[in-house]
Amino acid sequence: MRIVLLGAPGSGKGTQAKMMAEAYRVPQISTGDILRKAVADKTEVGKKVAAMMDAGELVSDRIVIDAVTDQLRSPDSRRGFVLDGFPRTIPQAQELDTRLGWMGRPVQLVLHFLVDNKVLIKRVVNRMSCANCGAIYNKQSSPPKKKGVCDQCGSKKLVSRTDDSEKTMRSRLEAYDRDTAPLISYYRAQHKLRSIPASSSMAHIFDAICDVVDTEIRPMEKKIVVIEEPVKIKIKKADPEEADQATTKKKAAKKTTSKKVTKKAAKKAPVKKAAKKTTAKKVTKKASKRK
C-alpha cells in the first residue's frame, strides 16, 4: 500500500503512521523524523535545516525530496509505505508523482486528517516523545503509565520537541495553510483524497483509517486465481448411412450443445465457490491478524 498522510501539525499523523506501519507491515517515512535525526547527528543537512525547523518554517523542497527518494528506493519500501509529513508543498507532490511514476508505483490514497485548530494547539503543547524509540505521548490525554518512563522501551528520555511551543506552533499552522493546504485540491483532483475525522481517540481514528484502507486498497492487492478446466465435448462418428440425417441433426443439435456447455460450465461453478470460500477465509485471517 502506498499512502500519504496529510494534515496540520498535531493532527496525529505521526501516531497513526506508526500504528499503520505496525499493522500493515510497511515503513513509516517521516520527513520530520529524518530531519530531526540529521540535526541531532549534526550532519551537513542537519546544520542547514536546524534554524528553519526551530522557527516552524518549511525547509527547502530539494532537501526533503532527496531524503524521501532514498527511503522509497530502499528494499524496506517494496511492500509500500506510509508517508508522514511529505509532501508538504505542490512542487514536492509533483516531484513525488514523477519519481513514483518512474518506479510504476503511484500513490494510491491520501488520508486527510481533519482537526480543529484549537485542538491542534492543545495537543502539540502537551506532546512528548521518547528520544530512544520515538513513541508519542500526550501529558493530558495519553500519558505514559509511569511518569517520565516510556511504556514501549522503558527509557527515561521523554522529551518535548523544541518546535512544539505555542508560538512556533502558530508559525507552523501558517505554513500549513499557505504551503500545504493547496495539496487538498491537488489530490482531490486525482480522486485520491479521503477525509479522516481526527479529533477523537487514537483507536477510533485508527479504525476509520483501516476501514478506508481495507476497502479501497487491500481488495485490489488480493489476487484471486480461479482455475477452470476446459470443457470436453465428445462427438460420436456418424454412420455413413446416417450421414445426411446426422448433418441435419447436427445443425439442430448445435443449439442444444451450446445449452449443454452452459450447463456443464454451471456445474463447474463449485470450483469458483470453493476458491471464493478460501479467499474469504484468508481475508478473515488477515483482518484478525491486524487486530
The sign one gets for the Cα dihedral 35, 195, 188, 2 is positive
Residue 81 near ligand AMP by CB under 6 A: no
Min dist CB 102 to ligand AMP, Å, is 20
Which are the contacts of 258, defined by CB distance < 8 A and separation ≥ 6? none
Residue 81's nearest CA partner among 89, 70, 94 is 70
Q: Which is nearer to ligand AMP, 26 or 28 (CB)?
A: 28
Residue span 250-269 as binding mask against ligand AMP, x where in contact by CB under 6 A, dash where not: --------------------
Residues 130 to 169 in contact with ligand AMP, rule: CB under 6 A: 163
The three cell numbers of residue 91 are 512542487
Residue 265's nearest CA partner among 290, 236, 228 is 228
Residue span 87-126 as binding mask against ligand AMP, x where in contact by CB under 6 A, dash where not: -x---x----------------------------------
* Chain centre distance of CA 283: 18
Residue 103's nearest CA partner among 216, 2, 219 is 2
Min dist CB 276 to ligand AMP, Å, is 43
Min dist CB 60 to ligand AMP, Å, is 7
Residue 64 near ligand AMP by CB under 6 A: yes
* Angle CA 173–174–179, to nearest 5: 100
Q: Which is nearer to ligand AMP, 31 or 71 (CB)?
A: 31
Distance CA 84, CA 181 (A): 15
Residue 7 near ligand AMP by CB under 6 A: no
Residue 85 near ligand AMP by CB under 6 A: yes
Residue 19 near ligand AMP by CB under 6 A: no
Could you confirm whether 88 is annotated as catalytic?
A: yes
Which are the contacts of 126, defined by CB distance < 8 A and separation ≥ 6? 138, 139, 140, 141
Residues that bind ligand AMP (CB under 6 A): 9, 31-32, 35, 52-53, 56-59, 64, 85-86, 88, 92, 163, 172
